[in-house]
Amino acid sequence: MRLGMIGLGKMGGNMARRLRRAGIEVVGFNQDVKATDALASEVGLIPADSAEALVTKLDATRVVWLMLPAGDITESYVQQMQGLLEPGDVLIDGANSYYKDSMRRGELLAESGILFVDAGVSGGVWGLENGYALMVGAAEEAFANVQPIIEALAPERDQGWIHAGPVGSGHFVKMIHNGIEYGMMQAYAEGFSLMKGREDFNLDLAEIAETWRHGSVVRSWLLDLTARVLAEDQQLADVDPFVADSGEGRWTALEGVEQGIPTPIMSLALMARFASQGQQDYSGKLLAMMRNQFGGHSIGSPDD
């Protein structure tokens, strides 16, 4: 089997490696040609110097996987693929795209007879060795064409992937997955912060994390990663406390509003990320001035 992959960054590159291990041929295109050349040399990826060239190196039924940042870049390639692929071909979007965009793109491509698949992918840089969790939205016909690819990327052929439903459902499930991830990460961060704050106990946070990894009801892969971090450095003095949000946490919070379903944990975790990004600085300054006005409390400077 052969597929085309556009986007050979950290995720896309490792996915190409895993596919090659499974014996699937991969035609790859990346804006930075160095990534393409490296994979060609390392795993026998078939290089293409453009999206057009990539399509010409695929046989019908063509399958092209976009592993690009969500948003404008993915949108531009979806539109480009509409003009390059033929009826019956399959286009997969593996980005963290908004599920409503995926539904729209599926309808757009259907006008040209092109099948669309939205694949939520979890696993990060560990996916190469451990496999990726895959949440796939697609019509039955489209999924049948890509199932061998999904099975090759998953931890096991029969584990770690789901054909969630029609187009849009894969990215919807991945969106909720990431919202839950926000909440779990925030809970771990707050708990360890509280333990670090009790300096009179002289707690070994690395040992606590390692203990919790075995038999505890709060054990998880996120805890495994936390234990790994703390084993190397418990103080984290040189770490910038800036936590980005990819967009999926925002979409999850908005989904809760749209459905009228309370999601306070996920929403507050999102707010905590906003707080880390410095966007609260002005409100904090104004709060300090209000407190000064009614109570005469002193006002500090950034250097204090």
The residues assigned a catalytic role are 174, 181
Note if the bond before 74 is cis, omega within 30 degrees.
Answer: no
Residue 67 near residue 134 (C-beta atoms within 8 A): no
Do 69 and 76 form a contact (C-beta atoms < 8 A)?
Answer: no
- Sign of the CA dihedral running 133, 134, 135, 140: negative
